[in-house]
Amino acid sequence: MVRRITGFSKLTKEEKIDWLVKAFFNQQSITKDTLKKYWNTDEKLQTLHDDFIENTISNFYLPYGVAPNFSVNGNEYTIPMVIEESSVVAAASLVGKFWSTRGGFKATVLGTTKIGQVHFMYKGNKDELRSYFSKIKGELIASTAAITKNMRKRGGGLLAIELKDKTEDLDNYYQLHVSFETKDSMGANFINSCLEVIAAKFEKEDIQIVMSILSNYVPECLVRAEVSCSVEELVAGTAEIDPYEYAEKFKTAVDIANIEPHRAVTHNKGIMNGIDAVVLATGNDFRAIESCAHAYAAKDGTYKSLTHCEVKDGVFRFWIEIPLALGTVGGLTALHPMAKLSLELLQNPSAEELMKIIAVAGLAQNFAALRALTTTGIQKGHMKMHLMNILNQLGANAEEKEIVVKYFDSKPVSHSAVHDYYKQIKLKI
Ligand code: MEV
């Protein structure tokens, strides 16, 4: 069987599928049916999705859930979340409600500056390079005028260009480090277009441009979200827990993530459960958000928690500081009907408002995880949610699901236990 092909991109969608199933699948008609089942019956909508990327042969669904009752700076939100993992949306909903009766979430944008770099090599005299840069700097900025015109009208644009000498780290290596304000757009295309024009203007015989590209590391595009309440309020309604002991244990869990990278990675993964879900639902770039968040978590030289906790004078405070480069205009945000719908659900936020909401989603998720981990453990709640996935995998119908869910209400859920019990009832029904 030939598993190589030339001219694949030129084939029609049907032809691509035909080749693929013949080359890689045993059950060819079942595979074809599966791929086609996920085609949208609305042809226009399907074409829209086909055109987002190349070689599209089908769609890949993820669940779209919502977490209501979030109060952020006094505004009420129902937060859209796209995620495949059970428990995440349920946890967000519980935590949203919990904090809505304790003053809600407070969030502040600390900065919105984004970065792009022209990387270049230069072997000549450093003073000559510095004087060439000072002389040409105005022209470099002017060269972007046509590209920045609309952005400047919206209050953004190119903020500054610096020459950076990196020759201590790599022989002959320098950068033009350029900062931008991109207002409500994520700004990747805008930044890259500006950089390429700057690079072309800057280049000369003894300057070799290596590449011009935005940096997804944006430590100055930063948001902070926090919650606080009295230590007593933290456990209100759960009489069996000592509030001070609980608050301290919670803080210790955060402290552990601050000094222990193995734990910090899992701790931050839980935060990203909340963040990525909203980033995806709003059509933003989750890979950019992920890589930046983890670089920020490691900014002090070791990988640490993105959240922080303090218990002082009877008050519990819990907060997150995270860089988030987001857009609420441009990119997929207007093109993808579900992303557009998510933004409408969030009352069409500015990029800064969306930064606040998404930071809150991350903080809420971490609160839920640490609350569960430091009390009951996560498996109890998690496996209950997982039960439905197992039952769906087994092909259980509504009646069978009801019987199994009832049975496991008071028993630990495991894949094999569910499997065995399901087999038993199958024989009886
Ligand atoms: C699971 O997706 C996320 C957690 O592991 C996060 C954590 O341990 O803090 C529960």
50 is catalytic: no
Report the separation in Å between the CA atom of 163 and the middle of ligand 1, taken as the mean of its atom positions: 42
Q: Is 362 in the pocket of ligand 1 (CB under 6 A)?
A: no
Average pLDDT of the residues in 352-371: 98
- Tell me whether residue 242 is one of the annotated catalytic residues: no
Give residue 410's pLDDT band: very low, low, confident or very high (50, 70, 90): confident
Angle (CA) 270-272-274 rounded to 5° is 85
Task: Give the pLDDT score at 411.
Answer: 81
Q: Which of 354, 362, 255 is nearest to 305 (CA)?
A: 255
Rounded to 10 degrees, the C-alpha dihedral 179/181/187/189 comes to: -50
- Give strand ranges (E) for 124-277: 157-165, 173-181, 207-215, 222-230
Residue 370 alpha carbon, nearest atom of ligand 1: 9
What is the per-residue pLDDT across 127-159, written as a single tens digit (0 to 9) for each?
Answer: 999 999 999 999 999 999 999 999 999 999 999
**Region 37-54: what's the mean pLDDT?**
97
DSSP β-bridge partners for residue 322: 223
Mean pLDDT of 317-339: 96
Per annotation, catalytic residue among 304, 356, 382, 386: 382
Catalytic, out of 285, 321, 352, 353? 285
User: Is residue 420 among the annotated active site residues?
Assistant: no
Per annotation, catalytic residue among 84, 85, 128, 165: 85
Rounded to whole angstroms, the Cα distance separating 11 from 8 reads 6
* Residue among 318, 373, 374 to mutate when testing ligand 1 (max atoms within 8 A of CB): 373
For residue 164, is pLDDT > 80?
A: yes
Number of the ligand 1 atom closest to the C-alpha atom of 378:
10
Percent of the chain with pLDDT over 70: 99
The rounded radius of gyration (Å) of the Cα atoms in the chain is: 26
Average pLDDT over residues 185-191: 97
| 348 C-alpha to ligand 1 centroid (Å) | 30
- Look at residue 239 in the predicted model and tell me its pLDDT: 65
User: What average pLDDT does this structure show over 168-187?
Assistant: 98
Looking at ligand 1, which residue's alpha carbon is closest to its atom 3? 270
Average pLDDT of the residues of the chain: 95
Stretch 82-110: mean pLDDT:
97
pTM: 0.91
| Residue range 195-211, pLDDT digits in tens | 999 999 999 999 999 99
Q: What confidence category does residue 241 fall into, taking pLDDT thresholds of 50, 70 and 90?
A: confident
Once rounded to an integer, what is the mean pLDDT over residues 240-257?
95
| pLDDT value, residue 380 | 72
Terminal-residue alpha carbon distance, the chain:
46
Residue 249 CA, chain-centre distance (Å), reads 28
273 lines ligand 1 (CB under 6 A): yes
Closest atom, ligand 1, to C-alpha of 372: 10
State the chain's maximal CA–CA distance in angstroms: 88
- pLDDT tops 80 at residue 11: yes
Protein residue with least CA distance to atom 2, ligand 1: 270
Coil, strand or helix: which one is 292? helix
DSSP 8-class letter at 164: E
Confidence of residue 261 (pLDDT cuts 50, 70, 90): very high
Q: How many residues can be counted in the chain?
A: 429
